[in-house]
Amino acid sequence: MTQSGNNSQTGLALIAQTSLNSLNKGSQKTAADPTFSNSIVNIDPTGTSLVSATGPAGVSDINDIEGGSDSDQVTFYTVRDKDTWSGIAGMYGVTVDTILSENDRKQGDRLITGELLLIPPVSGLEYTVKSGDSCATIAKTYKVPAGDIADYNDLDAKCTINAGDKLFIPNAEKTIETAKPVQKAAKSSVKVSQPYLTSQPTKNISGYYANPVPGCIRTQGLHDGNAVDLGCPTGTPIHASASGTVVFAKMGNNGGYGNLVIIQHDNGTKTLYAHLSKIAVSVGEHVSQGQIIGYVGSTGHSTGPHLHFAVQGAKNPGADGSWAK
Output the pLDDT for position 12.
33
Model confidence at 203, in pLDDT bands (50, 70, 90)?
A: low
Q: Which of 4-8, 152-156, 317-321 has the lowest mean pLDDT?
A: 4-8
Q: Find, among 148, 204, 238, 224, the residue nearest to 322 by Cα.
A: 204
* Averaged pLDDT for residues 34-52: 32
Q: Are 108 and 136 in contact (CB under 8 A)?
A: no
Give the tens place of pLDDT for each residue, 86-109: 999 999 999 999 999 999 899 899
Q: How far apart are CA 267 and CA 32, in angstroms?
A: 29
* 75: pLDDT strictly greater than 80: yes
Q: How far apart are CA 177 and CA 180, in angstroms?
A: 9
* Averaged pLDDT for residues 174-188: 39
Q: Are 297 and 203 in contact (CB under 8 A)?
A: no
Q: Are 100 and 110 in contact (CB under 8 A)?
A: no
Q: Are 41 and 16 in contact (CB under 8 A)?
A: yes
* 297: pLDDT strictly greater than 90: yes
Neighbours of 81 (CB within 10 A): 9
* Averaged pLDDT for residues 261-265: 96
Q: What pTM was computed for the model?
A: 0.70
Model confidence at 246, in pLDDT bands (50, 70, 90)?
A: very high
Going across the sheet that includes 259-264, the strands are 217-223, 227-231, 306-312, 270-276, 259-264, 244-250, 286-287
Q: Find, among 249, 252, 253, 259, the residue nearest to 282 by Cα.
A: 249
Q: Find, among 158, 185, 193, 169, the residue nearest to 270 by Cα.
A: 193
Q: How far apart are CA 290 and CA 238, in angstroms?
A: 8
Q: Find, among 236, 202, 214, 223, the residue nearest to 321 by Cα.
A: 214
DSSP state of 169: E
Percent of the chain at pLDDT above 90? 54
Neighbours of 61 (CB within 10 A): 28
Q: Are 35 and 67 in contact (CB under 8 A)?
A: no
Q: What is the mean pLDDT of the chain?
A: 74
CA distances from 190 to 59, 182, 257 (A): 31, 17, 22
Q: How far apart are CA 232 and CA 252, in angstroms?
A: 20
* Averaged pLDDT for residues 177-201: 35
